[in-house]
Amino acid sequence: MNKKAIITGASSGIGEACAAMLARIGYDLIITGRRSERLENLANKLENKNTAVKILTFDVRDRKASKDVLDTLPEDWKKIDLLINNAGLAAGADPIQEGDWDDWERMIDTNLKGLLTVSQLVIPGMIQRKSGHIINVSSIAGSEVYANGNVYCASKHAVHALTKGMRIDLLPHNIKVGSIAPGMVETEFSIVRYHGDQEKADKVYEGLTPLYANDVADAVEFMVTRPAHVNVNDMLLMPTAQASAVYNYRE
């Protein structure tokens, strides 16, 4: 029987690329997000005789909906081996004194509380089976802070701290916990951050080659294919043209 992975935010970007990678290496998938049409298209692409795919459509900010939807999984699908906590976003890029409360709430409720919600639903089964692997998608913004990144950076610093905390608490239960922290990845991330302003989003990647979602999935593949006794705690993955959160080299 294939191992089972649940990926939050599989409807685009890094989550979608991780789903494709996991299908390729033999996982059955639970793909989640709010945009059901995207998830259906992805399931159609990935499902075949070797890969089973379940779609769960829910907003990770809604605890009750998250629980209700996960509860609908058949018993054998509840035996989740791998959780990738990927759903997340940046909303806005303003100095703190001009920040928008709704943007802040979206980021904290998704990046932090959403990660906790899904983790809390999945961890008990892993503890029962004394086996599991959780990978949290953090960011270079989880270890550095840049101008106008304030609340997004805070949310990813929290993801970093939570990863460490989860790793300690889940140690006696044989559950691996790690994080992947990418620098710039060209996905829908900047379009979301700039509230749909494509021109502003394109500027983020102008003059340099960023990471692509598949590059991050490659790194996650390394993390999930280590032997049982090896855990990758945290991986920082940057474009060659980006030395830190603030030092980029643009042609």
- Residue 17's closest CA among 167, 119, 178, 25? 25
Q: d(Cα 157, Cα 163) in Å, to the nearest integer?
A: 10
- Give the strand pairing for 82-85 and 185-186: unpaired
Least separation in angstroms between CB 194 and ligand 8X3: 11
Of 148 and 174, the one with the shorter C-beta distance to ligand NDP is: 148
Q: d(Cα 125, Cα 121) in Å, to the nearest integer?
A: 8
Q: d(Cα 4, Cα 158) in Å, to the nearest integer?
A: 27
Sign of CA dihedral 108, 170, 58, 16: positive
Least separation in angstroms between CB 20 and ligand NDP: 13
Instruction: Indicate the length of the chain as a whole number.
Output: 251
- Burial of 47-59, coded b for 16+ CB within 10 Å and e otherwise, reads eeeebbbbbbbbb
Given ligand 8X3, ligand NDP, none, residue 218, with its beta carbon under 5 to 8 Å by kind, binds: none
Of 32 and 139, the one with the shorter C-beta distance to ligand 8X3 is: 139
Residue 59 in contact with ligand NDP, rule: CB under 6 A: yes
Of 136 and 139, the one with the shorter C-beta distance to ligand 8X3 is: 139
Residue 84 makes CB contacts below 8 A (sequence gap 6+) with 5, 6, 7, 8, 15, 18, 135, 137, 220
Q: Is 152 a catalytic residue?
A: yes
CA-derived radius of gyration, the chain: 17
Least separation in angstroms between CB 234 and ligand NDP: 13
Give, as ranges, the residues between 182 and 211 that touch ligand 8X3 (CB under 6 A): 183-184
Residue 140 in contact with ligand 8X3, rule: CB under 6 A: yes
Least separation in angstroms between CB 74 and ligand 8X3: 35
What is the distance, to the nearest Å, from the Cα of residue 248 to the centroid of all Cα atoms in its chain? 24
3-state secondary structure of 193: helix
Choosing from 66, 85, 139, 248, the residue that interacts with ligand 8X3 (CB under 6 A) is: 139
Q: Which of 27, 146, 152, 205 is catalytic?
A: 152
Of 24 and 35, the one with the shorter C-beta distance to ligand NDP is: 35
Give, as ranges, the residues between 125 and 184 that touch ligand NDP (CB under 6 A): 137, 139, 182, 184
Least separation in angstroms between CB 176 and ligand NDP: 19
Q: d(Cα 77, Cα 70) in Å, to the nearest integer?
A: 10
Residue 34 in contact with ligand NDP, rule: CB under 6 A: yes
Of 19 and 184, the one with the shorter C-beta distance to ligand 8X3 is: 184
Q: Can you give the binding site for ligand 8X3, defined by CB under 6 A?
A: 139-141, 149, 183-184, 245
Residues with a known catalytic role: 152
Q: Which residues bind to ligand NDP, rule: CB under 6 A?
A: 8-15, 33-35, 38, 59-61, 86-89, 110, 114, 137, 139, 182, 184-185, 187-189, 192
